[in-house]
Amino acid sequence: MVKKLTRAEVEIIAASGGSLSGETLSDIDLSGVDLSGVDFGNADLRYANLQGSDLSRANLSGANLGGANFAGSRLHHTSFRNADLRWSILADVDAISANFCCAGLLESNLSKGSFNRADFSKSDLRRTIINGASLLNVNFEEANLAMSDLSGSDASGASFNGANTYGTTIPR
């Protein structure tokens, strides 16, 4: 059986600039923790509570983040490339220039978040709620947005070239 790290151990590793790549951290409570710049590549963070945390410039590429709660977190320039974020909560996040390329966000909640200049190209955003979000200059090229709801969002300058928008509510 794999030993899971505790919150205190994660805070020590993060503060010292260490890597948490590949670690099993499912169900951990890291709410309000400064995790900026930490490498969580390919880590298991399913159902983790990261509410109000700072993950700016963190690497979460390839991580399993299914059901994780990022509500109110700072995610500037964070990489979620190829991450599994299905059923995650990204409501009210500040994710300017974050990279969600090729990520799975099936049925996630991105309401009221700021995703300006973020890259969602080739991502799976089916049945995702993105109400009241700031989506200025976001790249949704070749993303699957089928049955998603972007009502009340500002998508000025966003690119939907090649995206599947079947049944999607997109503000005009």
Domain count, the chain: 1
pLDDT at 87 over 80: yes
Q: Which residues contact 119 (CB under 8 A, 6 or more apart)?
A: 98, 99, 100, 101, 138, 139
Which CATH number goes with the domain that contains 31?
2.160.20.80
Q: What angle do CA 28, 58, 9 make, to 5 degrees?
A: 40
- Which pLDDT belongs to residue 75? 98
CA distances from 117 to 13, 16, 65, 106 (A): 30, 30, 22, 21
Within the chain, strands assigned E span: none
135, 158 Cβ separation under 8 angstroms: yes
pLDDT at 58 over 70: yes
pLDDT at 2 over 70: no
Q: What is the pLDDT of residues 12-46, one digit of tens each?
A: 999 999 999 999 999 999 999 999 999 999 999 99
- Which pLDDT belongs to residue 50? 98
pTM, two decimals, is 0.96
- Which pLDDT belongs to residue 92? 98
What's the chain's average pLDDT? 96
- Which pLDDT belongs to residue 1? 58
pLDDT band at 150 (very low <50, low <70, confident <90, very high): very high
Domain range enclosing 106: 1-172
Residues 62, 103: Cα–Cα separation, whole Å: 8
CA-wise closest residue to 78 among 59, 103, 106:
59
Helical ranges in the chain per DSSP H: 7-15
